[in-house]
Structure 1
């Protein structure tokens, strides 16, 4: 009887140790997960970085300043950010994220010899006046081209994503998918380009 009691005590002790180990392992895994999440969050919220100009700027980031430095082996330094806002100033050698347009282009001392431009997100609006140095966003067309002092030598463009059958657009526009050209004509409103009428294919 005593022998049976001793084995029962030992069995209960072993089970307790195993249970504690399982709890410890679960706790360690949770700690690792929390640490990884904190690391990911810290990368996500990092909105401004100083890099060397021989680095590739990540997608979704733009250059806001270019400067001389002794820390980049002869290359210039760049300040980049992924915190974009309407009207912000960026260096014109930036790759502008999809859906953003240039609304003004001008000379500056802050971009290492490049021009600067103000950018705006096309989301949430149907009409914009933009500079012709950037491609028109997908689904948008140019309805007018004009000379301006605000685009660094490029033409200004009035663009819209509000399309209708028979509307007139400038022929430098990329006709949106599903739309076709039904007429091409001479016009004084497209900065030397032809005009087009477009209609949605049924």
Structure 2
């Protein structure tokens, strides 16, 4: 039988080697591909918590050296309400609508019910809830559904208003000023509410002396006043 010269086998050997190399690289890449977290998973309590995730439970842990606890974290996707441990991060556009005693959050006594703000224009929240940008506190009340505090707040979303009454501890959005203050019976925990006015086309306006002064405005005069309970002065501010 005739023996074929070695050079006639070389193309076949090269092809075989290239195929083997490609399979090896593909296998290595598959093995090295990072694994994404499931929508609910367990991490050590000293781990950072990814944005958009909340802590729904904590437990004693023996596999997390340097800490006593592990956390169950859950990704927020389509939920509009969820219970979380009271030390969980609270994402923007979520508020605390109640708090309760808990047995699933080792290391604390309470968990929170979080509610997502979607189409609401008014909502009751616990007084320790974060208040999202563009919302104000229009009243406060005694409550039995917020363990750890005596009060809840009614939040109102600013939409088309140019003037609104708020409790004096409410956040004041940018481009709004306090134009008067009064005694109040609808803001439990304080004596006063404020009338806020939105700056739109004005170039000059009178505000209470404790009003924030927006960027680009200056105080051009001050006067005695009877419409700003809690102070004896108001300011005239002018847009520069």
- With normalisation by structure 2, the TM-score equals 0.67
- Identify the match of residue 23 of structure 2 among 6, 20, 34: 20
The verdict on how the C-alpha distance between 1:59 and 1:36 changes in structure 2, with shifts beyond 3 A counting, is closer
Structure 1 residues 96-149: Cα deviation after superposition (integer angstroms, max 9, x where no partner):
234331112111111124200011333665433211122322332111222332
Question: 1:63–1:78: 8 Å Cα contact kept in structure 2?
Answer: no
Take 2:105 and 2:179, find their aligned partners in 1: how far apart are those partners? Answer: 45
Say whether the 8 Å CA contact 1:100–1:119 is kept in structure 2. Answer: yes
Residue 188 in 1 paired to residue 226 in 2?
yes
Q: Paired residue for 1:157, among 177, 194, 197? A: 194
Cα pair 2:98 2:114 within 8 Å, conserved? no
The match for 1:107 among 130, 142, 145 is 142
Name whichever structure is richer in helix by fraction.
1
TM-score of the aligned structures, taking structure 1 as reference length? 0.78
1:9 aligns with 2:12: yes
- Pairing 1:168-179 to 2, within 5 Å after superposition: 168-179=206-217
The runs of 4+ residues in structure 1 deviating greater than 6 Å are 37-42
Q: Call closer, same or farther: CA 1:88–1:21 in 2, change over 3 Å.
A: farther
The equivalent of 1:49 in structure 2 is 83
Which structure would you say has the larger RCO, counting Cα contacts within 8 Å and 6 or more residues apart? 1
Gaps of 5+ in 1: none
Q: 1:77 aligns with which of 96, 110, 124?
A: 110
- Aligned-pair CA distance for 1:198: 0.5
Task: Report 1:111-150 matches (<5 A).
Answer: 111-112=146-147, 113-122=149-158, 125-150=161-186
* Aligned match for 2:238, one of 165, 179, 199: 199
1:184 Cα deviation from its structure 2 partner: 1.1
For residues 107 and 20 of structure 2, the distance between their equivalents in structure 1, rounded to whole angstroms, comes to 61
Question: Which structure shows the bigger proportion of residues in strand conformation?
Answer: 2
Separation of aligned partners in 1, 2:123 and 2:153 = 8
Q: C-alpha separation between the residues in 2 aligned to 1:75 and 1:96?
A: 23
- Measured on the aligned residues, the alpha-carbon RMSD in Å equals 3.1
